[in-house]
Structure 1
Amino acid sequence: MSDTTARALRLLSLLQTHRHWTSTELGERLGITSRTVRRDIDRLRELGYRIESEPGVAGGYRLEAGNALPPLLLSDDEAVAIAIGLRIAASQRLVDGPQTTLSALAKLEQVLPPALRRRVAALAEVVPSGPGGGARVSPELLGDLALACRDHERLRFDYTSVTGEASSRRVEPHSLAPAERNWYLVCWDLDREDWRTFRVDRIERLLRTRVLAAPRELAEETVAEMVLAASSWSPQHVEADVVMDLGFEDFRGWFGHWGQGATPEGADRTRWPVGGSDWREAMYGMLYVPAGVPYRTDLAEPHRGELREAVARLLAALEAAPPEPRATEAPRPVRGGEIAG
């Protein structure tokens, strides 16, 4: 780097730290004459920086906001602070659209020297992420996914489901979203020909194919519902399968993204896992089977017996005569001078 270029960069750094500098102050800081300051200011203007000058003894130079964003010159500490701030903003959803935050973070970390990247990683380990911190995800993986979502670039990766099932996927990524302290990738699965949601910490061996695809439309409300459904589904204390006399395509049309984990059983049946912390939550899932659709379940004992006893009491209560109406309190007589309400 030439002395002239290095001096111009130091001048830019000074202009970015204060709103106003006099020519004398800049000359003293850089060890140059006021005339050289003027020449360096002109060089920065040619590069696209809008620098306002004011004549007179109290005059000087001020860096203005421009119509386009010129390159910023950051110190090491400033770059690290911005990278940490972007990580916090993305995980805490402090800005509209974590995908934008992650893509900005990916660009910044890409140009950071290795020593600064290590500082960012070390500081991020001690930044609180809120109660119930989720699974750890490498910033490189998040950055690659964010950029692929932005560019509509097809991806390949290996995925391990919550049940331990491993598979290879080819997808067109749509968006990234945090939920329940974890990150989720919403994408179009090329092999399943349907929208899918993947928890990012279970993605391995990501391959960016450099193949771009036409964007697929997906409403924000649908993305939010998919992520909510994915973050709500996990192994439960009580688990059972429900096999209903409903074809898989009809099942998907009825349950939508809440039918996660379902698989076809022949042409006319669908197997759907239900469960919860106890048999009551498993029963709650069964109640969502469409009216008139027969089904069977493998709910195990003792939960099966407990549910049978509860249903028997429920049926008996519905068959019995309803209880006497609640006694109503007699109206209070109105005394003289009072107004009835």
Structure 2
Amino acid sequence: MPKTSARLLSLLSLLQARRDWPGALLAERMEVSPRTVRRDVDRLRELGYPVVAFKGPDGGYRLDAGTELPPLLFDDEQAVALAVALQVATTSGAGIEEAAARALTTVRQVMPARLRHRIDTLQVTAVERAATRPSPRVDTTVLMALSAAVHAREGLRFDYGSPPGTGAGAPAAYPPRRVQPHHLVTWSGRWYLVAWDLDREDWRIFRADRITPRVPTGPRFTPREVPGGDVAAFVAARFRGSDGSGGSGDWPCRGEVILDLPAVAVSRHAHDGLVEELGPNRCRLVLGSWSWPGLAAAIGMFDADIEVVGPPELKAAFGHLARRYADAARDTPAAPPHGEPAVGDQ
């Protein structure tokens, strides 16, 4: 029979794995008698774990919510995963940076030496975006309020503040927004609420740092499906200029070029682009962007000769940028040729 401490850890792990455990099944899984299970349950209760018994033909036990946080027990993989998660939590934008750092210190102090060594050698550095696009912090009470409304399927009323640079950041003097909240998501270091706007009768994505919830919440609602059925694809599509109804989340402009560069050098900077090696110093790049000039400019950052495979709009955008850059290089900008069409009209 395993030692008492090992049995308690095993019992606690089983109780965390599913809601209800028949007593006979617990005894079978732990290879002990039902009497031993009862005594081990009593020991867990003495340690502060709220293990409750339920009656019935298959009477057994469940781990319930308590009034205090008892000592937590993790296996090796769980402890390492928790430490890594706490390290990257500093860029969540949820205002929990200090709490995450203190929690990581606490977890590390109680780890066995073998796990502390693994954690110390696994230093995760979460790199935030450049200061040109700062990630504003969101009050945790706001996040909890939004999350609770999403979970309860209750309508929300909130004031929506002005974007940075347009005022003092206080909520605008407009009627409160009325929405049916569906998802709380993160995108590029910011928190967003995906919701159905009742007044505009359309889907909207709101920045959580600009939301000031009002109380009480609205009536319960039956959730509708986001366009395309996939919230991740819908959000990606909206931020890439599409309405998201197709659910693909693809860029509105996508082109293909061949670069005189090794594929490994291009792939490091291609983000979500597709890079195919064609030779030692030659590769194919398929990339997307908001617009054709934007796509051409993104491809132009690679210091290499470019062969445009298609479509024609991308080649026209390269020509447009070439003329613009040539004008910028002159002391006196040249006037555009008469009748030259705008890029969007080509």
Pair in the same fold by TM > 0.5 = no
Name the structure where helix makes up a greater proportion of residues: 1
TM category, shorter: 0.3 to 0.5
TM superposition score normalised by structure 1? 0.40
Q: Which has the larger radius of gyration?
A: 1
